[in-house]
Amino acid sequence: MTGAGVEFCFEVIGNPELVAAALASCHESHGVCVIVGLLDYGVQLNINGYLFFSGRSLKGSVFGGWKSRESVSRLVSDYMAKKFNLDPLITHTMKLDKINEAVEFMKTGKCIRCVLLL
């Protein structure tokens, strides 16, 4: 669709076959593929080494590069100070004993994010 390939490509569902396809879709001289989706532990990627020779790169990202120990408390403080609003992303609130139902809602796409309460 782009002719020469995309500059940035993000694989966000954790599918090893799609990682290879995403990397192949990158521009051959400078395209960057970022793995955001969590791959299962121990999964081996089957990627043709030729894809790297001309300049493509493959990276992984956890928390968008933020350091959880340092950054999460700042995010919470900023949210509490109303510097940004996450409320529209919370589509369901459930009791903790409904955790299995909440996980199923997320797996099937019936909610964006569910908050569990004691």
pLDDT tens digits along 14-72: 899 999 999 999 998 999 999 988 888 899 999 988 888 889 999 988 877 777 787 88
pTM of the model: 0.60
Give the C-alpha separation, 61 to 23, whole Å: 15
In a domain, 111, yes or no: yes
Q: 56: burial class by Cβ within 10 Å (0-12, 13-18, 19+)?
A: buried
Say which CATH number the domain at 17 has. 3.40.50.720
Report if residue 80 sits inside a domain: no
Q: Are residues 59 and 89 in the same domain?
A: no
Segments forming the whole domain that contains residue 54: 8-64
Residue 58 and residue 33 in contact, taking contact as beta carbons nearer than 8 Å: yes
How far apart, in whole angstroms, are the C-alpha atoms of residue 20 and residue 33?
9
- Alpha-carbon span 32 to 93, nearest angstrom: 37
Q: Identify the burial level of 85 via C-beta atoms within 10 angstroms of its C-beta, where 0-12 means exposed, 13-18 middle and 19 or more buried.
A: exposed
